[in-house]
């Protein structure tokens, strides 16, 4: 099983939006895609999944107390992909997700506040020797200089993938249990590219496993 954790110590960067979108995209390629909502305080991913109609694929696992023990059990049951949504702020919870992941996706907005929240995630990924990649989320193309500056800074710390645009579809689709990629061609192209990049990183990490 390939496991992707979506992690950032700051809220509002698009972790849940991307977790949902990646899971739906993954379900096009794999018959058994697992989702784990580790953001118990908000449970936004759980709300989205229930609005969607609690589908069999992707399937949300809510009964998890110890991911170090629970994840192997999920894999043993034949689940092929697992995407973990993490909370902001709770570094112990985030660290657990990073520990069990094959690869970590780190969403970042074009903001000095986001930049200041990056280092703890980078440190945890390095501590547990987990490959990670940045994605700039909610990018407004009108601010080219600011976007370029953030991109240059991120590239100094790690791998930067293609960005996610500031599109209304990312905001409105979850209200109906959808993802932006299901209602917007531009978003579909972005999520498709992001999914393929993350799967390639996960496959590289796991090798023949």
pLDDT at residue 208 greater than cutoff 60: no
pLDDT at residue 115 greater than cutoff 90: no
Instruction: Point out which residues pair with 37 in neighbouring strands.
Output: 85
pLDDT at residue 18 greater than cutoff 90: yes
What pLDDT is recorded for position 25? 98
DSSP letter, residue 148: H
- What number is the average pLDDT over the span 7-36? 94
Among candidate residues 22, 29, 23, the one with its CA nearest the CA of residue 161: 22
Q: Which domains does the chain have, with CATH numbers?
A: 2-203 (3.40.50.300)
Question: pTM value?
Answer: 0.93
pLDDT band at 63 (very low <50, low <70, confident <90, very high): low
pLDDT at residue 42 greater than cutoff 90: no
- What number is the average pLDDT over the span 3-9? 94
Token couple for 28: 């096009």
Task: Kindly list the strands in the beta sheet with 159-160, ordered across the sheet, starting from the edge strand earlier in the chain.
Answer: 59-61, 33-37, 81-85, 2-6, 103-108, 132-136, 159-160
> How many H-runs (helices) and E-runs (strands) does the chain carry?
9, 7
Convert the pLDDT of each residue in 180-198 to its tens digit: 999 999 999 999 999 999 9
What are the helix (H) ranges across the chain? 15-26, 44-52, 67-76, 91-100, 112-115, 118-127, 144-157, 168-172, 185-206
Token couple for 102: 């094959």
What are the helix (H) ranges across 65-184? 67-76, 91-100, 112-115, 118-127, 144-157, 168-172
């Amino acid at each position: 099983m390939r496991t992707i954790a979506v992690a950032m110590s700051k809220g509002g960067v698009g972790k849940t939006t991307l977790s949902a979108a990646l899971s739906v995209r993954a379900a096009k390629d794999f018959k058994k895609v697992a989702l784990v909502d580790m953001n118990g305080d908000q449970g936004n991913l759980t709300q989205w999944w229930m609005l969607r109609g609690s589908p069999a694929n992707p399937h949300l696992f809510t009964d998890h107390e110890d991911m170090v023990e629970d994840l192997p059990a999920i894999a043993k049951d034949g689940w092929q992909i697992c995407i973990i949504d993490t909370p902001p702020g709770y570094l112990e919870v985030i660290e657990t997700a990073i520990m069990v992941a094959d690869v970590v996706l780190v969403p970042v907005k074009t903001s000095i506040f986001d930049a200041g929240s990056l280092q703890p995630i980078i440190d945890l990924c390095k501590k547990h020797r987990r490959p990670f990649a940045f994605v700039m989320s909610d990018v407004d193309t009108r601010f080219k200089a600011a976007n370029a500056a953030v991109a240059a800074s991120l590239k100094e710390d790690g791998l930067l993938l293609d960005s996610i645009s500031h599109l209304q579809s990312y905001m409105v689709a979850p209200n109906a249990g959808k993802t932006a990629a299901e209602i917007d061609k531009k978003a579909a192209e972005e999520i498709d590219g992001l999914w393929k990049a993350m799967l390639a990183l996960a496959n590289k990490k796991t090798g023949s496993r």
